[in-house]
Structure 1
């Protein structure tokens, strides 16, 4: 597995749930309500707590200028970095997330860096932000811990919930 994918939090693994009916799903321990197979895999991972889910910095990329070839940056994987998005500011401490180091490989005037934290090509934006809001909302609504979310909690890594800023 590549280093970039090692820190990906939107991992799609495991056996997909084939239950498209509004009844309890035996493979995900969640309610299946016409979820796509990808959404079902995400929900299965969440239910089994195999994957950490980040907060969403914003549903769109950060256009970054002025990076030089060979320059190393730390990309925020948790979505909590309020001061330096898309770069890590250490806000992930205590959440289980780690920043992802990457080195600029080629000269470009503008790099589009993922800020929704759902990309499959980290740290670069792959357009996942266009479908992420619905998936993220379903994941939050299906979270087994949603009734226990507390305002002093920094981040629910089970679903990506954060208290209102």
Structure 2
């Protein structure tokens, strides 16, 4: 069977019910996001679905949403020239390059929007795949907040602050 190439497009409200299953699985695993543990399909929407000037996108392959990312200014006002982003890939689709596709999209989107850099405030240090991916795309770890995240598997671990200069 031949599949079309995966495409990344702006998320719509109709996509949220298809994002929620992997979003809730990833959050419940307790390894990558410091979202509240008691999210529901309705409260989770507010944590992920962004409004302009931010953007939430989905990665769709053969009609199935396999990942999502949200991106936009890291801070308002005088800090809005530096962006930030978060992304998730359905665990069932891991290892197939979808995370890299979303990550590359995030970087290019920030460039296209005129951002001067991208700052990630909280990359869990034990999330080796994400740390490696971001470093491979040019991000640097500029600091680590010790014991700032309670990992379900590892206890208290550090959160990296990572930065990519887009100038």
Q: TM-score range by the shorter chain?
A: under 0.3
Greater CA radius of gyration, 1 or 2? 1
Normalising by structure 1, we get a TM-score of 0.24
Work out which structure has the larger RCO, using CA pairs closer than 8 Å and 6 or more positions apart in sequence. 1
Structure with a larger share of its residues in strand: 2
